[in-house]
Amino acid sequence: MSADKINKIKALVAGRSSEEALSILGREFSGRIVFSTSFGLEDQAITHIIFSHDLPIKIFTLDTGRLFPETYSVWNSTREKYGKKIESYSPNAETVQKMISAKGPNSFYESVDNRLECCYIRKVEPLQRALKGNEVWVTGIRKEQSSDRNNFSSVEWDEKNNMVKYHPIFDWNIEQLKIYIKDNNVPYNTLHDKGFPSIGCQPCTRAVKEGEDIRAGRWWWEDTNKKECGLHAK
């Protein structure tokens, strides 16, 4: 079944622009296709495509409770510009309370296991709720974001969530993305102008230094080349 769905979507998007592909998928899977945004450059570009073309693709975000003020600001600016709703999914309050009571507010600095636990509670579990009942998950993944993401493809099967993932700007480079944002006057997170190519939770994200990998600012205290929170793990 997974192979059938992947082949179907690959056939639908083959040779299409990002706008054309999303329009086709929106019609084909209306009510069963969603896009997850964290309000970074990639996600803002896709949000612009969906909202400006009034595509039947629901947009949602994961409000972890520890986002940057700038992220909330661009969230609000996006709502104002397009006049459309972005669904919000938050972590289970009781689960967060238990974790913080047992380990403190910053336990993620102490071990990889603790960090993954926090990511699971604040991001992975809410994501599973957001994806439930859908067949296609649209994301802003680009292959140049990290060496690990070079192993991805624009259409793939997500075994964990039992659905197809589609990355409409998978082959875009960063300059192409910035030009698109500027030309279309898309609201964006001002932290991108301050050395933050990748923006997640405030305690777990820093600006990158010149010459560093673009993912170096995420969970920078961990000695690993594979820095993922579990949302897009293979």
pLDDT at 233 over 60: no
> What tens digit of pLDDT does each residue of 109-168 get?
999 999 999 999 999 999 999 999 999 999 999 988 765 555 678 999 999 999 999 999
Distance CA 138, CA 22 (A): 9
Sequence-distant (≥ 6) Cβ neighbours of residue 222 within 8 angstroms: 112, 115
Backbone angles phi, psi at 230, to 5 degrees: 110, -10
Residue 227: pLDDT band by 50, 70, 90 thresholds?
low
Q: Which two tokens stand for residue 107?
A: 């336990």
| Two structure tokens written together for 128 | 């599973």
Place of tokens 């992220």: 71
What does the pLDDT read at residue 214?
A: 80
Pair 124, 229: CB distance under 8 Å:
yes
Q: For residue 80, how many other CB atoms are within 10 A of its CB?
A: 9
Q: Are 188 and 173 in contact (CB under 8 A)?
A: no
The CATH architecture assigned to 2-192 reads 3-Layer(aba) Sandwich (3.40)
Give the C-alpha distances (Å, rounded to integers) separating 31 from 9, 25, 87, 93, 132.
16, 11, 14, 28, 12
Strand partners, 174: none
Alpha helices in the chain (DSSP H): 2-13, 18-28, 41-52, 69-82, 93-103, 112-119, 125-131, 174-183
Buried b (16+ CB within 10 A) or exposed e, 138-168: bbbbbbebbebbeebebbbebeebebbbbbb
* CA–CA distance, 28 with 233 (Å, rounded to integer): 27
Q: Which residues are catalytic?
A: 229
Under DSSP, the state recorded for 155 is E
Give the model confidence (pLDDT) of 199-225 as tens digits: 999 999 999 988 888 878 889 888 765
Return the percentage of the chain with pLDDT > 90, whole number: 82
The domain segmentation of the chain, as residue ranges, is 2-192
